[in-house]
């Protein structure tokens, strides 16, 4: 799927190939790594609110593009948001992504849960309709310090 999308906030896959039983994917290099990695090594108290806003804005642009083209990521989390030293923000890891087109008709939702369970939205268990507000609020909680400040 990654080779089919073209958006500045979606990690680009250049090509893929198999060697014996391993699949290799050649992708853009994001020199700062994932948000999760950065929080573990440099921002142990969490990112500042301004940084969270910038990262969320760019991540939501990627999600909007994907949703507009009938794709859902299904595993958005700090470890799948990559940063570059130039300020680039890219959504990555489309291993459990899905297409919302079935036999040419667009489906309204998927009937399966995949991804990383501890990152699921509570509303995913209650309702099939998730608002942009609930997703934004959830992602904010991921990036805020865990000490209650």
Structure-block tokens of residue 109: 């939702």
Q: What is the pLDDT of residue 19?
A: 95
Nearest to 10 by CA among 100, 93, 74, 69: 93
Q: What's domain 30-143's architecture? A: Orthogonal Bundle (1.10)
- Nearest 5°: phi and psi at 4? -90, -15
Three-class SS state of 17: strand
Q: What residues are annotated to the active site?
A: 75
Q: Give 34-92 pLDDT, tens digit per residue.
A: 999 999 999 998 899 999 999 999 998 988 888 787 777 667 788 889 999 999 999 88
pTM for this prediction: 0.66
Query: What is the model's pLDDT at position 68?
Result: 82
In this structure, the chain runs to a length of 149
- Angle of CA points 72, 73, 74, to nearest 5°: 100
Mean pLDDT of 94-122: 52
pLDDT tens digits along 6-35: 889 998 888 889 999 998 989 899 999 999
**132-149 pLDDT per residue, tens:** 555 556 666 666 555 555
Neighbours of 82 (CB within 10 A): 24
Q: Which residue carries 């893929």 as its tokens?
A: 16
Q: Is 135 helix (H, G, I), strand (E, B) or coil?
A: helix
Rounded CA-CA distance 71/67 in Å is: 5
């Amino acid at each position: 799927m990654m080779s089919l999308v073209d958006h500045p906030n979606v990690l680009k896959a250049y090509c893929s190939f198999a060697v014996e039983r391993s699949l290799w994917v050649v992708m853009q290099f994001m020199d700062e790594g994932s948000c999760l990695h950065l929080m573990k090594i440099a921002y142990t108290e969490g990112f500042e609110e301004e940084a969270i806003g910038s990262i969320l804005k760019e991540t939501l642009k990627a999600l909007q593009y994907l949703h507009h083209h009938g794709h859902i990521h299904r595993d958005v989390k700090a470890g799948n948001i990559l940063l570059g030293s130039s300020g680039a923000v890219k959504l990555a890891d489309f291993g459990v992504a899905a297409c919302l087109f079935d036999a040419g008709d667009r489906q309204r939702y998927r009937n399966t849960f995949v991804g990383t369970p501890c990152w699921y939205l509570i509303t995913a268990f209650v309702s099939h309709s998730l608002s942009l507000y609930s997703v934004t609020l959830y992602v904010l909680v991921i990036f805020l310090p865990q000490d209650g400040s």
